[in-house]
Structure 1
């Protein structure tokens, strides 16, 4: 069940807000304090990637972020609506720009993979999603 859902227009200035919200919800969910910087960085990379994909594709739909708190796991899903073509389905026009965007995309995914042990990336004609998860520790019972 989503604890918090956040949608924002695909503008770089909104990425910082997404990072702050993600860190606050992660802390409340019981993610270890030592890992919160990784959560912030990973969310920032994923949101920056989604904003870039929206802008380069001319997509005006908002970027979606779902912060999901389960019993022993905290997950963040960052979704975009930028369509992806099948591999090898590139025309000659604009190939250089596509190649540069693809390189930036791969770099962002590499950074996220380095920060998060449990990450899943999916994409298709309707857009893509990055799902990242961290273990949580149960809150101590107060007497």
Structure 2
């Protein structure tokens, strides 16, 4: 299992770099070319949300993006360190997790960004708590052909 970790200052101009790195690693991992735009958009939304939360809460720590490649899927985790009250996470029909509908959004949270991510990614889980939040997304990969 290959892992790439990217840390960047919570500045909007670094989101583009995160998108480019995610797309390059996804391509190498075997994510279908037709899905790479969705990967870029989803990572951009997740990173923009994390940057916004860091700015809103005055968090100086960097935003963390972890890209994980295994045999059957490619996963991306975008983590922020913005503290907020713990919200329940509920699984969706496709196995993803979303904040419980009865939970109000914390200050600085971008519910529209979460809606965009949920529309782009079939397998997504969103969690948040006192130590920050995490958006975990994954896509299936196609194994590389074996050459003789």
Q: TM-score range by the shorter chain?
A: 0.7 to 0.9
What is the count of residue pairs matched by the alignment?
A: 130
Q: Partners in 2 of 1:86 and 1:116 — Cα distance?
A: 23
TM-score by length of 1: 0.87
Q: Is 2:50 the partner of 1:45?
A: no
Cα RMSD for the two superposed structures: 1.4
- The equivalent residue for 2:64 is 64
Q: Deviations over 1:18-66 (max 9, x none)?
A: 0000000000000000000000000000000000000000000000000
Alignment match, 1:107:
112
1:118-129 correspondence to structure 2 within 5 Å: 118-129=123-134
Q: Secondary structure at the match of 1:79?
A: strand
Relative distance call for 1:79 and 1:37 in structure 2 (3 A) is: same
- Aligned residue for 1:116? 121
TM-score scaled by length of structure 2:
0.84
Query: Between Structure 1 and Structure 2, which shows a larger proportion of helix residues?
Result: 1
The gaps in structure 1 that reach 5 residues or longer are: 88-96
4+ runs of 1 displaced by more than 4 Å?
Answer: none
SS of equivalent to 2:137: strand
